[in-house]
Amino acid sequence: MTTTRREFIRNSAALAVFPPRLASALNAPPARNIELWYGKPASRWMEALPIGNGRIGGMVFGGTSTERIALTESTVWSGAPGSNDVNPTALDNLGPIRDLMFAGRYAEAGELCKEHLLGRGTSFGTSLPMANLELAFDDTPVQNYRRSLDLDEAIAHVNYIRANAQFHREVFSSNPDNLLVVRITSRKRGNISCDVTFGKLILPGVVTIEDGNTLVLRGHAFEHLHSNGEQGVQFETRVRVVADAGSVRADGLSIRIKDADTVTLYVVAGTNMHGADPSAECQSTLAALNGRTYAEVRSRHIADHQGLFRRVHLDLGADRVSENKPTDERRKAVEAGNEDPGLAALFFQYGRYLTIAGSRANSPLPLALQGIWNDGLASSMGWTDDFHLDINTQQNYWAAESVISPNAIHLWCL
Q: Which pLDDT tens digit goes with each residue over 252-291?
A: 999 999 999 999 999 999 999 999 999 999 999 999 999 8
- Of 101, 120, 139, which residue sits at a domain end? 120
Under the phi-then-psi rule, with left for phi > 0, alpha for psi from -120 to 50, and beta for the rest, what region is 310?
alpha
Q: Determine the structural domain holding residue 92 and report its residue range.
A: 86-120
**86-to-2, 90, 111, 121 alpha-carbon distances in Å:** 33, 8, 18, 8
Q: Is 116 exposed, middle or buried (0-12, 13-18, 19+ CB in 10 A)?
A: middle
C-alpha–C-alpha distance, residues 306 and 153, integer Å: 7
Q: For position 16, what pLDDT does the model report?
A: 29
The rounded distance, in Å, linking the Cα atoms of 224 and 120 is 16
For residues 186-211, average pLDDT:
96
More confident position, 88 or 176: 176
- Distance between CA atoms of residues 179 and 56, nearest Å: 7
For the chain, give the percent of residues with pLDDT over 90: 72
Asked if the structure places residue 246 within a domain, the reply is yes
Tell me if residue 215 falls in helix, strand or coil.
strand
Q: Are residues 139 and 62 in the same domain?
A: yes
**Reduced 3-state DSSP string for 235-249:** EEEEEEEEEECCEEE
Q: Is residue 53 domain-resident?
A: yes
Whether 204 and 220 have beta carbons less than 8 Å apart is answered as yes
Work out the pLDDT band at 42, boundaries 50, 70, 90: very high
Residue 406 belongs to some domain of the structure:
no
The predicted pLDDT at position 197 comes to 97
Which CATH number is 390's domain given?
2.70.98.50
Residue 28 pLDDT class (50, 70, 90 cuts):
confident
Give, to the nearest 10 degrees, the angle between helix 341-358 and helix 327-335. Answer: 120
| pLDDT classification of 161: cutoffs 50, 70, 90 | very high
d(Cα 373, Cα 381) in Å, to the nearest integer?
A: 16
Residue-level pLDDT at 131? 97
Do residues 37 and 115 share a domain?
no
H or E, element range at 84: none
Residues 236 and 373 in one domain: yes
pLDDT in tens, 373-403: 999 988 888 888 888 888 888 888 888 876 5
Per-residue confidence (pLDDT) for residue 3, from 0 to 100: 42
Of the residues 95, 120, 145, which one is the last residue of a structural domain? 120
Residues 233 and 310 in one domain: yes
Domain boundary residue among 120, 142, 176?
Answer: 120
Largest alpha-carbon pair distance within the chain? 78
Q: How many CB atoms lie within 10 A of CB 11?
A: 10
Average pLDDT over the chain, rounded to whole? Answer: 88
Angle, in degrees to the nearest 10, between helices 106-116 and 90-102: 170
Q: Name the β-bridge partners of 209.
A: 215
Same domain for 74 and 46, yes or no, is yes
* Banded pLDDT at 220 (limits 50, 70, 90): very high
* Residue 407 belongs to a domain: no
Same structural domain, 40 and 103: no
Q: Is residue 411 part of a domain?
A: no
Domain count, the chain: 2
Residue 33 identity: N
Shared domain for 177 and 320, answered yes or no, is yes
pLDDT in tens, 59-68: 999 999 999 9
pLDDT, tens digit (0-9, with 9 covering 90-100), for 315-366: 888 777 778 899 999 999 999 999 999 999 999 999 999 999 999 999 999 9
Residue 143 counted as domain residue: yes
Tell whether 366 is covered by a domain.
yes
**Residues 166-188, mean pLDDT to the nearest whole number:** 97
The predicted model scores a pTM of 0.86
Statement to judge: residues 100 and 228 lie in one domain: no
pLDDT above 60: residue 166: yes
Q: Are residues 159 and 278 in the same domain?
A: yes
141 and 248 belong to one structural domain:
yes
On whether both 116 and 135 belong to a single domain, the answer is no
| Identity of residue 186 | S
Average pLDDT of the residues in 136-148: 95
The reply to whether 412 falls in a domain is no
Q: Do 99 and 169 belong together in one domain?
A: no
Instruction: Check whether 13 has a pLDDT greater than 50.
Output: no
pLDDT value for 409: 40
